Structure 1
Amino acid sequence: MARLRVFISSTCYDLDILRGELRPFISNMGYEPVMSDYSDILYDHRSHTHESCLKEVPGCDMVVLIIGSRFGGTAVPSALQLVDFASLDKLSTKAEILATKEKLSITQLEVLKAVEAAIPVYTFVDERVLHDHHVYEKNKDKKDVIDHIEFPSIQKRDTARYIFEFINFLTHRTANNSVLAFSRLEDIRVQLASQWSQLFQRLMLESRTKAQEARRYRDFSERIDDLKAVVLASLATPDLRDTAKGAVQFRHLIGFVSGFVAVDARVLLLSDSSWDDLLAKAGIVEIRTLEEDDRDWLARPEVFLIREDRTFYRFRLPRRALDDFRVEWSAFLRLDGHAREAIVDALLEDREQRRFGMLRYVERSFDEFMSQRDGPAQLALGEAS
């Protein structure tokens, strides 16, 4: 089972105890921690370890950044080539740190790679560092003073500016700019548990809202399509009532037939062919249904209409819709010829039907398509046309 991969980015020497205690917390959440000091990263013998760390970041789902008193090792030049600094410059209103990219640490570069890849970053800064950052912001314009200030929270004075400016970059990002203070591990654990829980809750709410909006849109679209069908049909024949009724009744049937490729839908629709002959003229030789019980990754059975050349259509509706079309086709054939022609011409001119068609043509072999599915494919053979 795939697990959420959480990349832990921080200096190791001063934060090794905190990192060691954070690892089981992430594992107990059911996620996979990715940490350089636990051999979670592939160190390719053909490249520098800094490059290996950066290449691992895009494969993770989120990054937890912890900023303490140390700056960490300066990134090697080859690692700098793996980051698109031009794109990063547009993502923060305080990007001065990028002007001295050769001074960036590997920890900072890991985070910048995550930002570049639009991976969520959860930033935690030692509260003592945040206090000194405030002092730095108050005095950084005093060039004759700032470089001589000893910040108690920073291990090396000459690294202070690069740590504080990196915090500025993060806090002034156009998105994902939250920076949280911590004084002990428990602060980080509580915040992460709360943030991840709220994120999951938000995603669930958005999913429900999106589904409700989709249903409302479909209902509204159906009503508009019905009204459109009536209007179009009313313009096509003097017999308004019967033609309008037929346009509404057979709109989906005509939309289905018009989805076939390399055939004249109008000729098919105005023919006196039986339903099976109509499908045969469209090149359909087989209909298959992939049953829900056979593949647990399906939300519902999938229906495929297979052509003579083994290319195929994916049918977006349930299999029973095809049975409904068979019945509707028989009723459509009983209409007066002039009424059929008026309905067909009116609806075939409606390009919106093609945008939201129920058939999607796949120009590849159905057998090859099925062979690439995960696991064994158990197919229930439907009717052969």
Structure 2
Amino acid sequence: MLKDFLTLRKFIRELGYEAVKNEGGDIPYGKKKTLEDYCYREINNVDILINIIGGRYGSASKEEPYSISQKELKVAHELNKQIYIFVQQSVLVEYKTYLKNEANENFMPEYVDNIQIYKFLKEVYNYPTYNTVVGFSKVSDITNYLRSQWAGLFQRFLEDESRRVNYMLSKNLKSTAETLSQLIEYTTRERDETIKNIMVQSHPVFTQISQKTNIPIRIFFTNRKELDTLLKSFGYEEVEILEGDVFEIMYKKQSSGEKRILKINPSIFDNDGELKPVKQGEWNKTYVEINVEEIENVDEYFDVPF
């Protein structure tokens, strides 16, 4: 058995792994816990657990009814470690006989020194996650199986690494695409805003109101409120429309000898009262009209000289 162990240990080292075995003094012990506890703690530090089940039960664990070796396997399973379980062929064959005689209290196993080995093996087979149980007759059966399995592990590692690289590449491309999308959205938004400002700055309504009202300065407004303030400063007052089907904005200005009524189509403003940009060719000159009426100067009839 020792020769087989040394052969397996040599095989593991040749593949670049370091074998950790309690009997070889590979597990560091301290003073605060039992030797058994340090065995279980070491499971945290290993990547792969190779569990060999033979006819000997081994040292009993403080957690009955398990042996320390069995408890190590349970801890590795709970930590989701990669586990390989090898069962001596004679034990594996007799295990099937045990299952048929499980209820027979007089069943005496021939190839194991403790019936708990078979009870634990049944527990292993019932683990919710799959762990391969492989029978072996000689140590070369174990090394050949491990050689094949670890080659597959390495291949899967390369595939996972390739997928990881592809994932990172895909993630970077997605991030770049999102950045470009945001840049395009921002550029488009800024462009549209700039075009809108240019169209408002050169809006034809300014020239037409200036010509109709004879206001001698450059006219500019961006909303209905600014238009009201502008016209009011030149003597125009908004006319309140109480009834009728008149859909116009009207202002009046009355001076000596005439009355001016300025009509503006409300469709030049949006629902919020903001001046809407107008594309070239869309402006209708009927949107702004003015009516001028002559009126009598009432004061001249009361001009009595003294």
Structure 2 length-normalised TM: 0.58
- Distance (whole Å) between structure 1 residues aligned to residue 190 and residue 119 of structure 2: 70
Map 1:1-385; keep pairs closer than 5 Å.
15-45=1-31, 47-76=33-62, 80=63, 102-140=64-102, 143=103, 145=104, 147-155=105-113, 159-160=114-115, 162-236=116-190, 238-239=192-193
> Mind listing any 5+ residue stretches in structure 2 that lack a counterpart?
196-306
User: What is the RMSD of the two structures over their aligned residues, measured on CA atoms?
Assistant: 2.4
- Distance (whole Å) between structure 2 residues aligned to residue 232 and residue 169 of structure 1: 63
Contact 2:101 2:107 in 1 (8 A): no
- Distance (whole Å) between structure 2 residues aligned to residue 197 and residue 54 of structure 1: 28
> Mind listing any 5+ residue stretches in structure 1 that lack a counterpart?
1-14, 81-101, 242-385
- Distance (whole Å) between structure 1 residues aligned to residue 83 and residue 91 of structure 2: 19
Contact 1:75 1:106 in 2 (8 A): yes
- Distance (whole Å) between structure 2 residues aligned to residue 129 and residue 46 of structure 1: 38
Q: Helix, strand or coil for the counterpart of 2:27? A: coil
Larger Rg computed on CA atoms: 2
Q: Deviations over 1:123-153 (max 9, x none)?
A: 101111111222222332xx3x2x2122222
Distance 1:215 1:164, change over 3 A: same
Q: Helix, strand or coil for the counterpart of 1:72? A: coil
- In the TM superposition, residue 200 of structure 1 has moved relative to its aligned partner by 1.0
- Distance (whole Å) between structure 1 residues aligned to residue 155 and residue 194 of structure 2: 52
Q: Deviations over 1:312-349 (max 9, x none)?
A: xxxxxxxxxxxxxxxxxxxxxxxxxxxxxxxxxxxxxx
Q: Helix, strand or coil for the counterpart of 1:32? A: coil
Q: Deviations over 1:144-177 (max 9, x none)?
A: x2x212222212xxx22x2223223323323341
Contact 1:64 1:122 in 2 (8 A): yes
| Greater Cα offset, 106-115 or 218-227 | 218-227
Distance 1:236 1:138, change over 3 A: farther
Structure 1 length-normalised TM: 0.47
- Distance (whole Å) between structure 2 residues aligned to residue 166 and residue 40 of structure 1: 26
Q: Helix, strand or coil for the counterpart of 1:238? A: helix
Identity %: 26
Kindly provide the amino acid, as one letter, of the partner of residue 49 in structure 2: V
- In the TM superposition, residue 235 of structure 1 has moved relative to its aligned partner by 3.8
Kindly provide the amino acid, as one letter, of the partner of residue 198 in structure 1: G
- In the TM superposition, residue 108 of structure 1 has moved relative to its aligned partner by 0.8
Kindly provide the amino acid, as one letter, of the partner of residue 77 in structure 2: V
Contact 1:120 1:176 in 2 (8 A): no
- Distance (whole Å) between structure 2 residues aligned to residue 238 and residue 38 of structure 1: 77
Contact 1:67 1:125 in 2 (8 A): yes
